């Protein structure tokens, strides 16, 4: 959730998605179908980059949910080790 790379890649994908949508808009007016195709490739690339990273990231950055909820309660009383 707090991974910077995830956020960066998500942003990149979002940007590319918007660019693709724009290109599709122009394509529908017959301006350039080619650029829409390129944008689509760009978008898919960004998507697979994000997916690739996530498959590693989920493993590296994963925090057990039980641990975080326990930490909230632990702040109210001393933790028994």
Structure tokens at 26: 């122009």
Q: How far is the CB of 51 from Zn ion (least distance, A)?
A: 11
Residues in CB range of 40: below 8 A, 6 or more apart? 20, 23
Q: Does residue 10 bind Zn ion (CB under 5 A)?
A: no
Burial of residue 41 (CB within 10 Å: 0-12, 13-18, 19+) is exposed
Q: Looking at residues 22 to 81 of the shown chain, list those that interact with Zn ion (rule: CB under 5 A).
A: 57
The span of 6-14, 19-27, 36-44, 69-77 binding Zn ion (CB under 5 A) equals 6-14
* Calpha distance 27→19 (Å, rounded): 12
Q: Binding Zn ion by CB under 5 A: which of 6, 24, 27, 37? A: 6
The footprint of Zn ion on this chain (CB under 5 A) covers a number of residues equal to 4
Residues that bind Zn ion (CB under 5 A): 3, 5-6, 57
């Amino acid at each position: 959730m707090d991974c910077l790379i995830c956020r960066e890649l998500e942003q990149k994908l979002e940007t590319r998605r918007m660019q693709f949508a724009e290109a599709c808009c122009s394509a529908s007016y017959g301006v350039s179908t080619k650029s829409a195709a390129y944008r689509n490739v760009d978008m898919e690339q960004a998507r697979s980059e994000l997916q690739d990273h996530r498959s590693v990231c989920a493993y590296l950055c994963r925090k057990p949910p039980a641990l975080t909820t326990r930490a909230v309660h632990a702040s109210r009383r001393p933790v028994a080790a």
